[in-house]
Amino acid sequence: MNILYLGSGGPYSLGVKKKILGQFKALNDAFDTAYLADRHLGVAYLRRDQRRIVDKNLSLTKEDYYRIVIKWIINYNINVIYIRYPFANIFFIEFLENIRPIIDKILIEIPTYPYDDHGLSRDIVIPDLYYRNQIKHYVDFIVTFSGDETIWGIPCIKTHNGVDIDEVPLRNYSAHNGVKLITAASLSSWHGLERVFIGLAEYYTKRDDVSTHVSFDVIGNGDALGQYRTLVSELSISDKVCFLMDMSGNEFDEMFDNADVAIGTLGGYKIGLERFSPIKTAEYCARGVPFIYAYNDERFATDLDFVRRIPNDDSPVDLEAIIHMNELLSIDISLSSRMRSYAVENLSWHKMMEPIIRSI
């Protein structure tokens, strides 16, 4: 049985890129042959294992792209298609209609649901609102991370975001003074980092003698960077917060070596996200860095000592509590390897793709 993973068209953030490749690797291990199709800057690519390009074609529009993909489906004997949701428009619906008779199973993954409040452009939202209700005529399953039983009248396969363990090194930690907080994100307002900044400002202003110094490294770039910088300046904590943009590879990994606590998404409440399974917390776990987050994440039991769930609201992060958490964890020399084992057993993409593969 051959499967095609159909990308939604780049450019993707680094996290999404890793996710697609992690999912593709899991599918590649489960099927006779797995192909990955995607389109970027007017070119459609068909890849096999190790991202080797086996076919390519000029594809200026999505209409071209879908026409090319149908050709590939026929030429490469594809039985199953896994589609990363590209938002619906007329060409997507026509594509589904055309492949339905020649494909055994059609699955669509919706990376974030609901998404109507995510500030998408009108060019995407209006056609999507009109056409998405037609998807149920052609699709077998929706793959969701939201926990919904059905979406648009289509039965859902529920799963979570995972991590490609091989791509994430274990942190090389050495003891040091103070507490180093870290986050890596494509900075948006729903990351809610202002909760940490205000918490930091309160921590430093409430007491005269600060015994434990706390710093915060923010890695990434995005729409909210400007407002975060302004807030840090207004709170007079510029010497405690370091903004690092566009970091990757070894340099990126080394930043986590001496990090004590990583910061997950803290502003889900702004866009109605209560239940969530972001990639980055799975990565923090695989790296062996304890972390905090503010939503319901079924991948992490509430009694795990290396995670802390805080309220999903606009309250400042309680730095005293974070320092206390770090004190308790820093005496455990097996902490990082324990977190790594947890990630291997529970958070790998192979594990997360299991319910999807079973349904096919």
Of 118, 276, 247, 269, nearest in space to 192 by CA? 269
294 near 307, Cβ under 8 Å? no
Output the smallest distance, CB 119 to another protein, in A. Answer: 18
Determine which residue in the list 29, 32, 42, 238 makes contact with another protein, applying CB under 8 A.
42
Determine which residue in the list 26, 28, 45, 182 makes contact with another protein, applying CB under 8 A.
45
Q: In the chain, what is the greatest distance between 2 CA atoms, to the nearest angstrom?
A: 72
| Cβ-based nearer residue to another protein, 62 or 191 | 62
Alpha-helix residue ranges (DSSP H) falling in 225-330: 225-234, 249-257, 279-287, 319-330
52 binds another protein (CB under 8 A): no
The site for another protein, by CB under 8 A, has a size of 30
Name the β-bridge partners of 220: none
Determine which residue in the list 10, 178, 272, 311 makes contact with another protein, applying CB under 8 A.
10
CA–CA gap between residue 349 and residue 195 (Å, rounded): 31
280 binds another protein (CB under 8 A): no
Output the smallest distance, CB 26 to another protein, in A. Answer: 16
36 binds another protein (CB under 8 A): yes
H or E stretch covering 274 = none
162: its two tokens: 């995972």
Of 315, 338, 325, nearest in space to 291 by CA? 325
Residue 342 CA, chain-centre distance (Å), reads: 18
Of 196, 332, 210, 171, nearest in space to 267 by CA? 196
Output the smallest distance, CB 138 to another protein, in A. Answer: 18
| Cβ-based nearer residue to another protein, 111 or 127 | 127
| Cβ-based nearer residue to another protein, 123 or 305 | 123
Output the smallest distance, CB 335 to another protein, in A. Answer: 34
Segment 109 to 148, residues that bind another protein, using CB under 8 A: 123, 127
**C-alpha distances out from residue 90 to 87, 169, 183, 329, Å:** 10, 43, 39, 53
43 binds another protein (CB under 8 A): yes
| Cβ-based nearer residue to another protein, 62 or 351 | 62
E strands, the chain, in order = 2-6, 33-40, 43-47, 53-58, 80-84, 105-110, 141-144, 150-151, 154-158, 179-184, 214-219, 241-244, 261-263, 291-293, 307-309
Determine which residue in the list 3, 7, 139, 350 makes contact with another protein, applying CB under 8 A.
7
11 binds another protein (CB under 8 A): yes
Output the smallest distance, CB 240 to another protein, in A. Answer: 34
Segment 220 to 259, residues that bind another protein, using CB under 8 A: none
Q: What does DSSP assign to residue 319?
A: H
61 binds another protein (CB under 8 A): yes
12 binds another protein (CB under 8 A): yes
CA–CA gap between residue 37 and residue 255 (Å, rounded): 33
164 binds another protein (CB under 8 A): no
162 binds another protein (CB under 8 A): no
Footprint of another protein (CB under 8 A): 7, 9-12, 17, 20-21, 36, 38-43, 45, 47, 51, 56-58, 60-63, 89-91, 123, 127
